Structure formats: C-alpha cells, structure tokens
Chain A
C-alpha cells in the first residue's frame, strides 16, 4: 500500500489518461448513435442493417482495431487517437441497439397525440421521443461507459498510456500491488463515470425516478408540456 502513496503521481497521471481516453468515445458514441438509433426505430430495413453492422463491428477484437486503424487512416501507431476512434466505434456499435430500442419503446399513442396537438416532426423528436426514450438511453450509455473504461487498458499493449501500464509492468516485476492498483483504479473511474451519468440522468429526467415509468406519469408530465407550448 505504501507503494501506492509513493507513486501516486504516476497513478494519477495514468488515471487522467484513462479518463480522457474513455470520455471522448462515450460522448461521441452517444451523439452519433442517437440519429442512427432513431432511424433504426423508424424503419425495419434500417434497423436490420444498422444492428448487423453494429454486431460485426463489436466482434472485432480491440487489439486488431488498434493496429489496423492507423494503417487505414495514416496516423502513427502510437497516437492515442487510434484508441479513441476504436472505442468510439465500439460505443456506437453497442449504443445503436440501445437507442433503437429506446426510441421504439416510446408508446405510439403518445407520439400520435403529440402530432395531433400540432408538433412538427422535429419538435416531436425533441419534445417527446428524446425525453421519453431517456431512461433506456441512459441504461444503454451506462453499459457503454463501463465497457469503454475497461477497454482502454488494452491500449497499453501498443503503448498508449493508461492504467493498463500498471498491468504489464506489474506482471513483469511480479508485483501484485501494482496490478491491483491498476484494477482498482479502473473500477473507480468506471464507478465515477457511472455516478456522473446517473446524476445527469436524474437532473434531465425529473419525472423518471422509477425503473419503468408508467403511463399515468408520462401523460401527467406531457400535459405540462402541452400547456407550456
């Protein structure tokens, strides 16, 4: 344990690296998967294409992507951007399915009533579909967040600095403390991200305190929407 305190600078630096390398893919992945998921929820064809492509992308082993991406886009093999792009691809692959399901879970009756009241397509998306799909989107992004944080460590195999360094270095030196420091650090980062996401979700979706919102509550909050307009 002493080792952890003595080398806290190193651990902290690696942790920040991990945070940066995970946060970007999570955010970009989320943003990219929203329109794709919406498309998939609207059209059967789009859904099967997008989900199949997503499925294929997800099975590509991370190491393979880290190696092939620099060749394809011409960056240096050591550039962290390769890891970010690869993780974004995984994030989108996982998230598209979630967001497709999320948008599909919005009750048709609510969408119809929104149109009846006079919302345009765009207004309906932002005022109805997006907020109502929130809970499922949140669940999806939490899964993406957790797996992205854990995947970042694989980058250490090609020298992209993160907590993964503690695994390879600790292994060579038969230094259990170092490896455990890395494992715990990764779990802590994943936990912090998860808490942040839950808090953001609570702030943005005050009506959704229960795991599954029931219809009455949705209708109730919709009323306030309609009146405000």
Chain B
C-alpha cells in the first residue's frame, strides 16, 4: 500500500509537471502514439472488416492473421524496426498499429455478421445496392459490436504504448523504464498508475459515447433466441428499422 501512496505522491508533485520529461509531455506523447496508431489501424481494419462481414469471405485468413499479429512479440518487432529505421515515431507506430488491428477487425466483422441475414435479404429485395445495405442496414445494426471493437482496440493500444519506452521513445512508459534504471520505485509506480488511469478514463468516455450515440437494438439475455449466425437481435426489431430506413 505504501508503494501506491508514494506513487500518487510522485504524480502530484508539481516538480514533475514541468520540463522536457514532465507528466504533461509524456501524456501528450502517449496520446500522439495512440491517436496515430489507431487512425492507421482503423484505415486498414475497418474496410477489411466491412468486407469480411458483408461477404463472409476471407474470415479464416483474417482470424489466422489476427492470431499471428497477437502472437508477435512486441519487443522483438520493435528491436528489428528500430535497427532499420532508427529512433522515432515510425517504429512505435507500426508496432501499435499491428497490435490495434486484431480487436478492431474482429469487432467490425462481428458487428456486420451479427445482423440477421433475413434482414439483409429483405433489404436486397427492396432494391438496395450492396453498399447501401452496408451503410444503412448492417453498420447501424451492428454498430454496438463495431464500437465495442474500437473500444477494445483503444484500450489495447493505450496499454501497449508503454513499449515505446523500452527503446527510449516517449510516452508514459518512460516513467517505468527510467524509474527502473534509477531504482526509483515511486516513479515506476506513478507510471503504472498513470497508464491505468488514462486507459480507464478514455474507455469510460468511449462508454458514454457508446451509450448516447451508438444505436443499440436490444441487450442479450439468457433466453434470447439465437439466429443461425449467432446474433442476438430479434428479427422483428431489425425489420422495423429497415422499414423506417426504406421510407
């Protein structure tokens, strides 16, 4: 317990909020790595996920590739990248993008797949093009799972961005690594606390956004009937949405 008190003390010490390696600077760096990485991860994962979810093709490859990405040891990958590219944002960003894609990809195609195929067929019958179906039917209905994937990816990237510090880049991980090098336990604990707090705060904000912005149709309960694809949304509610859209 004493450790945590010391850690908090370190965080609230005004000395640590000024200068080139202050908490504010490291926080900024951390958000920078997270933001850039999530952006590029989304650029890759979202179109891929939409394609896989909608057409059902490539699911096996996507799962296999995701597993490989999850299995890649970040330390090793960083070592290779920094040797080739030098210290900078690029090696860290590449590693974080690789870490962020699996949860995001899974969320997107799970969301699209969770839509009852009957609803999709109905939309097709009504004359919507594939892209319209994606845009007006599958994405809104699967939005909850898609956003869940985005949340998981964000959490993963924020927590993993500490690896940037192993090779002297920036971010909150620096408190861990620099603290270890100088046997400064309060600094290390402070670093850990900061990462946890930031990750949870961001996740909390995303949860609030999800509650108010992302449309959900129903919540799963034990006795919910499962459709052939494993979705939890009763067909009746989906069709109702469809009819509204089609007007």
- Enumerate chain A interface residues (CB-CB to B < 8 A): 55-56, 58-61, 63-65, 67-68, 71-72, 104, 106-109, 142-143, 146-147, 149-150, 153-154, 156-158, 163-164, 166-168, 170-171, 174, 176, 179-180, 182-183, 186-187, 190-191, 194, 212, 214-215
Contacts and interface: CB of A to CB of B under 8 A. Distances in A.
A168 B155 CA distance: 27
Q: Looking at A59, A104, A107, A190, which has the most chain B CB atoms within 10 Å of its CB?
A: A59
Interface of B: 3, 67-68, 70-77, 79-80, 82-83, 155, 158-159, 162, 166-167, 173, 176-177, 180, 185, 188-189, 191-192, 195-196, 199-200, 203, 220, 222-223, 226, 228-230
B192 A171 contact: no
Nearest to B74: A150
Contacts of A167: 73, 75-76, 79
Nearest to A187: B71
Contact of B79 (A71, A158, A171): A171
Given A59-B159, A61-B159, A146-B70, A154 B200 contact: no
Contact of B177 (A63, A143, A170): A63
B67 A194 contact: yes
A107 B226 contact: yes
Contact of A68 (B73, B158, B167, B192): B192
A68 B3 contact: yes
B74 A187 contact: no
B70 A143 contact: yes
A56 B3 contact: no
8 contacts: A59-B199, A61-B173, A64-B188, A64-B189, A64-B195, A65-B192, A107-B222, A212-B230
Contact of B155 (A59, A71, A156): A59
A171 B83 contact: yes
A195 B188 CA distance: 38
A10 to B, nearest CB: 16
A195 to B, nearest CB: 11
Contact of A164 (B75, B155, B199): B75
B3 A71 contact: yes
Contacts of B155: 55, 58-59
Given A71-B185, A157-B180, 16 more contacts: A55-B155, A58-B159, A59-B196, A61-B173, A63-B180, A64-B191, A64-B192, A67-B180, A68-B3, A107-B223, A150-B70, A153-B73, A167-B75, A176-B80, A183-B72, A194-B67
Given A68-B189, A108-B223, A187-B71, A59 B76 contact: no
Contact of B192 (A60, A183, A212): A60
Nearest to B223: A108
A214 B75 CA distance: 42
Given A59-B158, A104-B220, A176-B83, A186 B67 contact: no
What are the 3 tightest A-B residue pairs by CB atom distance, in nearest-first order? A64-B192, A190-B71, A108-B223
A59 B200 contact: yes
B192 A61 contact: yes
A130 to B, nearest CB: 16
A109 B173 contact: no
B191 A168 contact: no
A130 B82 CA distance: 46
B79 A147 contact: no
A15 B133 CA distance: 49
Q: Looking at A61, A106, A183, A187, which has the most chain B CB atoms within 10 Å of its CB?
A: A61
B121 to A, nearest CB: 19
A171 B166 CA distance: 12
B128 to A, nearest CB: 27
B162 A163 contact: no
A108 B226 CA distance: 11
Contacts of B82: 171
Contacts of B189: 64, 68
B162 A61 contact: yes
Contacts of A153: 73, 75-76
Contact of B223 (A109, A150, A180): A109
B185 A156 contact: no
A67 B71 contact: no
